[in-house]
Structure 1
């Protein structure tokens, strides 16, 4: 039996890396559902809220669906289903892009905007409670740097910074 040299085998996680990995996995698996629980009273989930928030922060509260999918970090098909549901609630309106009919625009209605305004304070409070209150200012800076490095490793073209579901802007 031939032994594989260490440099050719897998680079196993050491104990500190294993603990960090399991902490990150725990966050990934639990944070969205914790945020969903807070938003449930408004009939929304975290993805719904992110779509509404992205539209609320866009010029004229309108985005092309393809751009909104990018902000939402979701597929166009998932976004289409969510926007259809939000449209039935009266929060969003879809139309053809007048500058290029190949695209569809999603626009936040006044009712949708009022919903975001009503839900945002509680959502930001929950984000603060779950993520920022347990950390020092230095840890928040480290978390920012770590998150951006991991995002870049996953997707080198990811813009980092203000992109996606950023609460409280």
Structure 2
């Protein structure tokens, strides 16, 4: 390679160089990653210890409840940040526990409907106070209203930017 080739390569790499985060941005980013990881782990632990239900199970019951009690499996998987195979496995386990049932879609016969059972609805109603208390204890009540509102605006901006790639995950009211 000639010196001109090396220089051209260096220039090409300069154009590809990322805009690195400054120290303040890096600190905030790492706080977000650590905080959300710890928050979701704690919420999951609380539900498992107190109700023998995972956070994913709870979220499935919530999605079904908010959709009139049933959803196509494909829609359910799209509404969660999980693969279809993981949701299918989880729903199969939840079905064995009597929380949901599955049946063929009557409109086309190809899809599968996941339906919350009466037991699933009862479990959701019993578990929801624990979940809400955890969200309050580990997040909402730790910060003042202005900071919490700012967090909401930040996450709305992130969601607005990224939701186009995953419209089935939209869960914000009025969107």
TM-score normalised by length of structure 2: 0.83
Question: Which SS does the other structure have where 1:55 is aligned?
Answer: helix
**Equivalent residue, structure 2, for 1:49:** 58
Question: Which SS does the other structure have where 1:156 is aligned?
Answer: helix
TM-superposed CA distance for 1:78, in Å, is: 0.7
- Say what the alpha-carbon RMSD is for the aligned residues: 2.5
**Superposition pairs of residues 142-161 of structure 1, within 5 angstroms:** 142-158=150-166
Match of 2:140 among 123, 129, 132: 132
* Structure 2 residue 130 is the aligned partner of structure 1 residue 122: yes
Structure 1 gap ranges (5+): none
**Equivalent residue, structure 2, for 1:84:** 92
Deviations 1:27-61 (A, max 9, x none): 232121101111012111111100011112222x1
Counterparts of 1:20 and 1:158, CA distance in 2:
25
Could you say if the C-alpha distance between residues 24 and 51 of structure 1 is closer, same or farther in structure 2, counting changes exceeding 3 Å?
Answer: same
Deviations 1:56-90 (A, max 9, x none): 2222x111111111222211111000000000000
TM-score normalised by length of structure 1: 0.86
Assess if the C-alpha contact under 8 Å between 1:151 and 1:160 holds in 2: no
**Equivalent residue, structure 1, for 2:105:** 97
Question: Which SS does the other structure have where 1:12 is aligned?
Answer: coil
Provide the aligned length of Structure 1 versus Structure 2.
Answer: 164
Deviations 1:98-120 (A, max 9, x none): 11111000000000100000000
